[in-house]
Amino acid sequence: MKGILAIYRRELSGYFVSPIAYIVIGFFLALTGYFFADIVGRVIEYSFRAQMQSMQMQGAPPPIDAPMLVIRNFAGFVTTILLFLVPMLTMGVYAEERKRGTMEMLMTSPITEFQIVVGKFLASLTLFVVMLAPTLIYHFIIGRYSEPALPWRIMWAGYLGIFLLGAGLLALGSFISSLTENQIVAGVSTFVVFLMLWILDFGVRGSSTTFGEIMKYLSILQHYDTFAQGVIDTSSIIFYLSVVALGLFLTLRNLDSMRWRRA
C-alpha cells in the first residue's frame, strides 16, 4: 500500500507541476460552462415557444420537464467531450516516463509493477474527478430555481455513469501510453481507439443478429444510456469495471514484458 501511495503522490504532484492539468481542466470547465448555458437557454426558449403555441391554439401547454432535458443534453455533451480530452490526460502517463528514462528507475526500484500501475491510475482518476466536480455547481444553481424540481436521482446516476466511463477510458489510455515513448503517438492512438469504440455500433443499431448485439454491447457509450435515464444498471457497471480491469491488466503485462526484456 505504501508503494501505491508513493506513486500516487508522485504522479498527482507531477500533474499540477506541469501546465497540462491546468490547461485541460480550464478548457473543460470553459467548454462545459458555455454549453451548459447554451443548453439552458435553448430549453427555456423551447418551453416558452411551446407555451405560446398552446395559448394560440387555446389548449393546455404540453408537459415539459425542463430540468430533465438540461441534465440529459449536458450529460450527452460531457460524455462526447471526454473522448477528446482523456487522451490528453493519459498520453504522457507512461510515454513521458519512457522518453526521459525514469521508467527504468521505477522498474528497478523496490516498487512492484502492480503498485506502479494502480498508483498511476488512481492519480489520473483523481485528476479526472477534480476536473468533473466543479460542473456540479451548474446543477446546484438551476436546482435552486427550477420548476419542476431538479431530478437529483437522475443527475447523480448520470454522474456515476460519467465517472465509470471516464475510469474505463483512463485505464485504456494508460495502456496505450505504455506502448510508446512518443506522447503525440500515444494521444492520437488513444483517440482513434476511443473513436472506434464509440462508433462500433453505428451500423448495427437496428440489427437483432448475434454480431449486432455483440457490437452494441462493446460500444463504450451505449452503456451510458441507462445512467442518463436515471437507471443504475448492474450490467453497465460490470462492463465499465471490466474495461478498467482489462486496461490495468494489459498495462501490467506490458510493464512485465519491459522488465523481462531488460533482464
Report the pLDDT averaged over residues 110-115. Answer: 81
Residue 23 has pLDDT above 90, yes or no: no
| Segment holding 263, helix H or strand E | none
CA distance 153 to 76: 17
pLDDT value at position 2? 77
Q: What is the pLDDT of residue 126?
A: 92
CA 243 from centroid of its chain's CA atoms:
12
Helices and strands in the chain: count of H runs, count of E runs: 12, 0
Average pLDDT of the chain?
81
In a 13 Å sphere around the CA of 153, the CA atoms on its Cβ side amount to: 5
Q: What is the pLDDT of residue 3?
A: 79
Q: pLDDT at residue 64 above 70?
A: no
Residue 249 has pLDDT above 90, yes or no: yes
What is the average pLDDT across 80-88? 87
Summarize the confidence of residues 175-187 as an average pLDDT: 87
126 vs 57, 113, 121, 167, 240, CA distance in Å?
53, 20, 9, 10, 17
Judge contact between 193 and 220, C-beta under 8 A: no
Instruction: Say if residue 203's pLDDT is above 60.
Output: no
